[in-house]
Every structure is written in C-alpha cells, then in structure tokens.
Structure 1
Amino acid sequence: MTGAAIGLGAAAAALAVGDLVAAFTGPASAPVLSVGSAAIDLTPTPLKDWAVQHFGTHDKTVLLSGIYATMALLAVAAGVLALRRLWAGVAVFALFAGLGMWAAASRDAALLPSALAGLAGAGVLVLLVRLARPGSTRRREPGGPQRTGASANVAVPRPEGPPLPGAAPSAEAGPSLVGPPLAGTPRATEATPPTGTHKPAGPAPRGMGRRGFLVALAATVAGAAVAETAARALTAARYNVAKARAALRLPAPVAALPPVPAAVHPPVAGLSAFTTPNGDFFRVDTALTLPQVPPSTWRLRVHGMVDHPVELSFDDLLRRPLHELDYTLSCVSNEVGGPYVGTARWLGASLPDLLRAAGVQRGAQQLVGRSADGMTIGTPIDLLLDGRPALLAVGMNGEPLPVAHGFPCRSLVPGLYGYTSATKWLVDLEITTFAALDPYWVHRGWDRTGLVRTASRIEVPAPFAQVPAGPVTVAGTAWATHRGVAAVEVRDDGGPWQEARLAADLGPDTWRQWSWTWDATGQGPHTLEVRATDGTGAVQPQTRNPPFPAGATGWHSTVVTVT
C-alpha cells in the first residue's frame, strides 16, 4: 500500500506540473493530450472504425480514460519498485517523460511540459521514498559500547597483597572480596541497575515517522490538486475563445434564403428534425482538445500551385460576399442507418471564387486544407470548380460556428464526405497534386475522392419496438447529397417494394424525409427494409459494405413486433 500511494502521489504531481506548464506552451502540449493524439495517429484504421462504432462520440473519453488508467497502473508499479530499488522507480518516470516528449514532437507541440512533468514525478518519488524508509533502529551511548548482563555490575576479587592506599582493614581473616570501588565504577549510593539488566537504548528514529510520511503524502496530493486547478483556470483564460465568439456579429448574406418550409418534415413523432440543432450535430474528428483560434489572430493562407498567393484575416473574409447554404453533412464512418449525419443552414464565402481569384495553375489536382491542430483534408480540384456551392463557412444555423464545429472558419464541399471536404479550424489552403501529398485519411488507406453514397434509414418505429396490429406509420430520412433523392421504397418481410411518400424537397444538397403507412398484420416479429433512388436514377445497392475505404453501402432494416 505504501508503494502504491507513493507512485500515485508522484504521478499526480507529474501530471499537475505538466498541465500547468502547458497552460503557457499550449494545451496540445499537455503530456496526456500529446500521448493521446499520438495514439490516435498510430491507431490502425480497423481499430478506429471499431471505436467509432462502439463508443460513438465518446471515443475520445474512452481513450483518455484508458491512458489515465494505464498511467495509474505504471505509477503504482513505480512506487512499489522504488521501495526496493529507487533507480527502478525513477526509470519509470523517465519513461513517462520520454514518451510524452516523443508524442509532443510528433505533433509539433512543445516538449517542455512532458520534460518537467517527468522531473517533478521523479523528484516527488525520491522524496516520498526517503520519508517512508525506516532509519537506524538502535542508538549508541556516548563513550563506547555498553555493557550488559552480569558483567555490568559484579564484585571483582581483589588480588592478594598489601591493601590499597586508604583501604580499611578487613574484619575477617583471609582475602577480602569487597573493597572500595575501582576508579570509574559506580558507588553503592548511585542508582545502579540491578544485576542482569542494562540501560535501555534511546528511541529509534524512523525518518519522519509514519505520521510524518502521511502528512507529506497528503501535502503532495493537495499541491497537485491546486496546481491542476490553476492549470485549468490559466488554460481557460489564455486559450478559450468563447467570449470572442459570443461578441462576434456576422454580416448578413448577400441573398438570404427563405425559412425552411414545414412541408420538408413529416409530422411523425420520433422522426429527426429536418434542421439539426447545433448542440445535436454529430462530431467525429481526431482532436482530443478543441483548438481555440481567436478571430483577431486568425489567418488563412492560400498558396501552392496558384498565380497569386492570398492571405486573409478574419475581417477580410467577412468582407467578402457571404452566402447561405442548406446542406446535409455526413461522415464516412457512418454505418448503414447510423447517426453521423446532420443538416444545417451554413453561412460563408464562396471557396471556388477565392480559388479562381488566386489563379489555379494547370496540373493542380487537389486542395489540401490544414487545420489549426495539424489535420490535413484533401479535396479534388475538379469537384471544387464544377459549379457546386462550396463554402468557407463562418456561421451555422444563424450563429457563429460552434468551436466544436470549426470556429472561426471551416470548409464545406457538397457531395463529399467530411474527411475529403470539411476542414475544421481551417488556417491553410494549399493547391497541389495527388503525388505531392497524401492527406491524413488518404495516407491511412481511405478513398481519395470521398463521394457520398446514397443512404436511407428507418427511424420510426424504433428498433425492436412493439406495435399494434393495423395501420402503422413508418418514417425516416434519405440522402444522396449533390445528386438528390428521387424516390424511397419500403417493404415488409421481403415482400414487394412499396413507394413511400416524400416530403418537400429543399434541394439536392439536403436530405429528404419520407413516410409510409404499413398495414401491420400477423402477430410476432417483422423485418422492415428501406432503399432510396438518387436524382440520377441509381438505386441504392443492397450489398452491405463497411465504411472503409469509401463509405458504407446496403439497405437499412429494422425488426419490430406486432402485438
């Protein structure tokens, strides 16, 4: 228990020091975040897909929890080892520091937080081990070794011969066994311990004692808590852009879109809202901590294979003509029937107009967007310049972009999954070739283009719901962005396809909701299936394929029970 407490106390001090230093060097340089970000970069694609499927938007929380749990186990091991071999415990914290520095270097983050965290952890470990170890168990008396037992106080026969000077004559004949005390021996009047006993040794010192060690351990934990609290407060004060976002007033669009008509959403309880509220909009990315980019310092650089490189401030961007766009954004990680899709009214400047002003050179093949946290997203140039309304978005559903969705600026390209079109926290645009650079996801094996597949899902009734016999409303959503949805069909237990009623169409870049009245007969379980036809006449394929490497395909189905 003592070793475990020492290790955990030292680890708490190390993390607090690392986070406190990171409050000055940047949140991404905090040791745990550095290691977590590096772990995300190194995680194989199948494992990433598994994490998204099983943990959803909580995948980052699960990752961080795993890192903290692993660190706690290693800290316990370090404390136990240190009580036996101090150098071994110190080596564990040196490993902590080295791993954190390597992870920070891989993300171009500061190394100092991890280095100082390792030093602090090792220093606290050494201090607590020394306080916990017992000291000497016996104290010597001044003047040499102490006599014990009968030899300490026994009558010594006087040798025969003349009496010692000043000695009294013996009252009996024969040699006297008792005489005056020899020099240095105690007199009879002194408090001499009885024969066979010895003078007790002084109290054995034990470092600071058990109580002192516990006080030092408690002080370490309290100090770590104070330092961690200070680190979070400093980080929020120095890097949080919430106030800047709240104070921002976006200009009006050059041509405001009319309100979304009610006819786009069938009045069916349980059906997703047509326009997804910002707080409910899905978030799938690799950022363990949200980049905090102040609008006052934001710059967008457009360079590479262009005739006229451009650099814009945020005010420059807001002075450009702003346009509204109703657009359904979907994630390539979405499984058939999955939740990683949403529709919003976006506000932003035309991305194709900016590229044309910069002058895209012959031979350019892709636009690589870079985010403030280093993410790279590649978009084929020919799709950007084919007339689709791609945006440098600054607003979402009537307010500035939420930080979780890219504040102050992100890119959007209708018809493409987010991993090839939607760079959040955008700070750089490079026009280049496919051979020159593989963006983050392409480097990991995903398709380079990222065209959105036709998809549809049943939302009502919910999976495994129990419904009464008779008419039952079945409803859901379908999308094939930039191609549109022309038809949706539903069937029961593999029977003939029945055409569903489509809600009003807001345009090819948004999803389309539908409903169908099912005559539910026959008690027991039933399987409902749905498929969609896009605006080109292509029917959604039946074959199920996983998201990797180009998006999931297949019909969505659900099982309900008729009672």
Structure 2
Amino acid sequence: MTSPRLAGALAAAAALAASQLTAAVLGLRESPVLAIAQTAIRLTPGGIAEPIIGAVGTADKPLTIVSVVVVMVLLGAIVGTWWRPHPTWAVAGVVVLVGLATAAVLSRPYGSVGGVVACLVGGAVLVGVLALVLPESSHDDTEKGPAVTRRRMLTTVGAVVVATAVAGTAGELLASRRRRRRDLDGLRAALRLPTRRRPTPAGADLGVDGQAPWRTSNRAFYRIDTALSPPLIDPAGWRLRIHGMVEREVTITYQDLVDRGLNDAWVTLCCVSNPVGGDLISNTVFSGVPMRDLLDEAGIRPGADMLLSTSEDGWTCGTPLSSLTDGRDAMLAVAMDGVPLPVEHGFPVRQVVPGLYGYVSATKWVTDWRVTRFDEAEAYWTQRGWAARGPVKTHSRIDVPRGRATAGAVPVAGVAWAQHTGIAKVEVRVDDGAWQEAELGAVPSDDTWVQWRWEWDARPGDHRLEVRATDKSGYAQTSERADVLPDGATGYHGVDISIA
C-alpha cells in the first residue's frame, strides 16, 4: 500500500512538472512556479526579507525557487492524507492551491490566460495522480492477493515517476525562454557600441595579496534584485517613457541613447543590505548617457522632487531628483567594463547613480520614468520599511590579514568608500590602541572606493584589528553598531588575528 503522504508529494511533483511543460509549450514568459516565487518575494515584509538576504546573499534566487517547490510538494502530501478519509477536503485543497497559483500568475506583469491554463493543468494532474496511485480497494484486488496489488501499485507509481521526469525535462528543453536567452545573447554579442575597456587607473590597485581588486569583473560584480528570471529585452524594442510632472512626455529608444554618444565613469555600487565588513559592493566603469540631459529635455515642473523608475518586470525605485541634476555621473548605462551590460545586470539599459544605495537608484531593465513627489508615491523597498532617500554611508573594511599570521611585518589592507563625497583618510588600530593612518591608493574620482594598506609590526599573541574611515566632508565613521534596516549599517569593521 502506498503511503498517502508519499502519494500526495508525488502527485504535487507531477503537477509542477505538468504546469512547467504547459508553460513551455505555450511560450509563457513565466511558469506558475516562477510567478508564485515572485509573488512570495513581493509579499515578504522588509523585516523578514532583510535577514534572508543577509544570510544567503546572492543565493537568494535559487533558494526561493527551491523553497516554493518544497512547500508545494509538502502541501501535496497534506492533500494526499485527506484523499481517502476526506475526499471532499482533498478536492477543496486542490481547488485552493490552483486558485492561489492562478492569483499569483495574474498578479504578475506577464499574467495571461496561458498562465491560468498551466495552473489548471497542474491541478488536473494532481487530482489524476492521486486517483491513480490511491484508488479505492476493489473486490478483484482482494481476490488476487496483496502481492499482485503491491506489484500493480509499484508499477503505477513507477510510471508516474517516469512521466513526471519526462514532463519536467521536456518543459526545460521546450522552454521558449531558453531559446530567447540564446537569441538575446547573440544580439548582445553582435552589438558594436562606441566604447572600449579602459585600463585600471595607475596607483588604484595596491596589489596586496588577498585584498579585493580595485576593479571588479563583470562576472564577480554583486547582484541583488527581485527578478528570479531576468527580463529578456531586445534592444531594438526597448523604450523608455518619461512622463508625470514634466512639460512634455518623451520616449527614448536604445538607438537614441547610443547616438547621443556615451560617457564613461568609474562608479562603485553598494547594496543597502551590505553588513559591516560585507561584500555586497563592487566597482567598475559604466558607459551611458547623463540622466540629467533626458530630464532636461522633458522639462521638470516646479515641485517635483522624485523620479519613480520602473523595471520591465514591475519593480519600482524612488530616486531624489536632486541627485540626478547636481552634476554627478548619474547615467542611463548601456555598457559595463567596456561591453554591453550583462543580462543579469540590466541589459539593455539600467540606471547608475553614484552616492546612493542601489534600492533607491540602480534600476535594472528600466522602461519607465515618472517624475513625481516623495509625498505622492512610494517605491518597492520603501513600502517595506526602508528609508526613502538612501545616501551611501562612509565605510571601511579589512580584507587582510584573516585568521593567522606570522610575527613581524604584516600588511593590513582593505577598501573604504564614501561615494560622491570621497575618502580623506583611513586609520587602523590594534587592541584598542592609538589610530594609525594608512596609505591610500589613487582614485579617478570621489565616486569609487579606495584601496588602503598599513604595515603592522605584529607581535605574537591574539589581537583585534579595527578600521575607520574619514570622508572629505570631515565625517569620521561612527563606532556605533546599527543594522542595515532602514538606511544602511554602521560601526567599525574588526577582525581577530592570531600571530605565531
């Protein structure tokens, strides 16, 4: 006899595979599983989302999808336990699951009748597999004996497992998104933008072993966003609509941006979820068009103080207009480190604004600008408890040494940042002793982080190293520890070292 829980879990897995296959055959932008996962992200309160991001970092996306699949399988197991003793409850449970999946699909920007069909197919398969694997016992089965019944049940279960595997694999192989991604990668590789890879500025990289490179490669650049499946946008079809509190509505195409000529700027981007000493920060050169020029063409009306930008997948971001019009290198970027933006980093067009955390500035896959006011509109993360404006805080980090070192001359090195303000000095102290000023690397502007190093005459024993930075406004990092919510972490970064 098959366990009802196991049967229900198997039925749920088969339902997920069937809905995935249906979504692929219909060429849907998102399968029901992705739609449910994106809805779960959207409904998660900021106070819960932040610890998750802090714990898993850039692994949040695959873990979210796996979590949705696991929850759906567990719910299927519950329905399986109801199938024989309470069939009405079981059917009602399936109806509820299909209804919730349908609501998630229709709440997404890509919601469609096809998505509803995929949900219904999944529900039908769930019921069908339960009926097949957990049939009512018959007089025939009793007469033939338990061995025959067991063999028949094992054969049925095996057939369902094989069918589930085949459906899931076929869904992956047929997925139109996979084909679209290959096509888009080809289009991206064929683009010939008027930009090139610039060399790292002389003196910027101090070359200390173990220190974070001053220039971050595109592959290593951190990624934090809510898109489980990055939007796939053909540059030829990309449009940016500028509207709201403007004198005239403007629509910009990708070719319009390229034809204007591209400016290059070295910029360090940082996530507000970066803890003290964290690595959710990267530095590279972006190429694009000043956002100020586009806003000037539209004409900002008096009273406006916020730009509400929207991603192709519906995510929103509120940026202070003052940070886009004060002369800093705020741009609509089309290239990153000399090549067209990677898909995961916003291809074909994203925003880059020095001096602001990404949640209030760095919209990827941007397609809409609405000029408005902070007292009239709220963006995605501010609705979840983060501060509305989000200027980057002055910070520093120790990269080396870590753990153990040998007595004598030990290089202590790391990075410090205060984008659009600039770092004036970095200091290190040992065991709460006097602060010692470190050597700073060269930087092309105040919009990037700076490498620093200090030579330590290390004595045997256990020691505590701490670092602090002072920016060009005269502000010195505070030692007071604060969480990343609502507007970024504070406190000295320290490491414990054992000197042999």
Verify same fold: TM over 0.5: yes
Deviation at 1:333, TM superposition (A): 0.5
In structure 2, what is the Cα distance between the partners aligned to 1:28 and 1:291?
9
Partner residue, 1:185: none
Task: Name the aligned partner's letter for residue 120 of structure 2.
Answer: A
Partner of 1:402: 342
Mapped partners of 1:259, 1:274: distance in 2: 12
Contact 1:244 1:295 in 2 (8 A): no
Matched, 1:243 2:181: no
CA contact (8 A) 1:94 1:122 kept: no
Q: Find out whether 1:490 has 2:428 as its counterpart.
A: yes
- Contact kept, 8 Å, 1:250 with 1:318, in 2: the verdict is no
For structure 1, the 5+ residue unaligned runs are 140-202
1:81-122, Cα deviation, whole Å (9 max, x unpaired): 213333333233222212212222333423412233222212
CA RMSD across the alignment: 2.2
Is 1:136 equivalent to 2:175 in the alignment? no
Deviation at 1:275, TM superposition (A): 0.7
Q: Corresponding residue for 1:106?
A: 107
Does residue 316 (structure 1) correspond to residue 321 (structure 2)? The answer is: no
1:329 corresponds to:
269
% of aligned pairs identical? 41
The answer to whether the Cα contact below 8 Å between 1:244 and 1:294 also exists between their aligned partners in 2 is no
Work out whether 1:123 is the aligned partner of 2:143. no
Looking at structure 1, the residues matched to 257 and 189 of structure 2 have their Cα atoms a distance apart, in angstroms, of 17
1:373 aligned residue: 313
Which of 432, 448, 471 is residue 534 of structure 1 equivalent to? 471
Helix, strand or coil: the match of 1:427? strand
SS class of match (1:279): coil
The match for 1:341 is 281
Conserved 8 A contact 2:194-2:261: no
Instruction: Tell me which residue corresponds to 1:152.
Output: none
Q: Give the distance between the partners of 2:60 and 2:141, measured in 1 at CA.
A: 57
State the Cα deviation string for residues 303-322 of structure 1 (Å, max 9, x = none): 11112211222222222221
Tell me which amino acid in the other structure corresponds to 1:120.
V
Residue 88 of structure 2: aligned partner: 87
1:121 is aligned with what amino acid?
L
Q: Secondary structure at the match of 1:546?
A: coil
Instruction: Quote the offset at 1:511 in angstroms.
Output: 0.5
Please list the CA deviations of residues 30-74 of structure 1 after superposition, one character each: whole Å capped at 9, or x if unmatched: 222222222212222222111111111112333333222222222
Matching residue's letter, 1:505 = V
2:33 aligned residue = 32
Partner of 1:53: 54
Q: How many residues align?
A: 493
Residue 285 of structure 1 deviates from its aligned partner by: 1.2
User: Is residue 499 of structure 2 the alignment partner of residue 559 of structure 1?
Assistant: no
Q: CA deviation at 1:547?
A: 0.8
Please list the CA deviations of residues 9-35 of structure 1 after superposition, one character each: whole Å capped at 9, or x if unmatched.
321221122222333666664222222
Match of 2:241 among 295, 298, 301: 301
Offset at residue 242 of structure 1 (A): 4.1
Q: Does structure 2 conserve the Cα–Cα contact (< 8 Å) formed by 1:134 and 1:205?
A: no
Q: Tell me which of the two structures has the higher relative contact order, counting C-alpha pairs closer than 8 angstroms and 6 or more residues apart.
A: 2
User: Secondary structure, in 3 states, of the residue corresponding to 2:139?
Assistant: coil
**Distance in structure 2 (CA, Å) of the matches to 1:539 and 1:494:** 17
- Does the CA contact (< 8 Å) of 1:245 and 1:400 recur in 2? no
Alignment of 1:153-168 (within 5 A): none
Distance 1:214 1:86 in 2: 23
Within 5 Å, give how 1:82-481 maps onto structure 2. 82-108=83-109, 109-110=111-112, 111-112=115-116, 113-130=118-135, 133-136=136-139, 204=144, 209-233=149-173, 234-240=175-181, 242-253=184-195, 259-462=199-402, 465-481=403-419
TM-score calculated relative to the size of structure 2: 0.93
Partner-residue secondary structure (3-state), 2:426: strand
SS at match of 2:392: coil
TM-score normalised by length of structure 1? 0.83
Structure 2 Cα separation of the partners of residues 21 and 392 of structure 1: 37
Give the aligned partner of residue 74 of structure 1: 75
Does structure 1 retain, via aligned residues, the 8 Å contact 2:198–2:337?
Answer: no
The SS at the match of 2:452 is strand
**Distance (whole Å) between structure 1 residues aligned to residue 282 and residue 351 of structure 2:** 16
Name the CA distance, whole Å, in 2 between partners of 1:3 and 1:41: 33
Q: Displacement of 1:204 after TM fit? A: 4.9
Alpha-carbon distance, 1:276 to partner: 0.4
User: Structure 1 pair 22/484, CA: closer, same or farther in 2 (3 Å)?
Assistant: same
| 1:280 aligned counterpart, secondary structure | coil
Change (3 A) 1:310 1:238: farther
Equivalent-residue separation in structure 1 for 2:251 and 2:19 (angstroms)? 35
Unaligned runs of 5+ in 2: none
1:213 is aligned with what amino acid? M
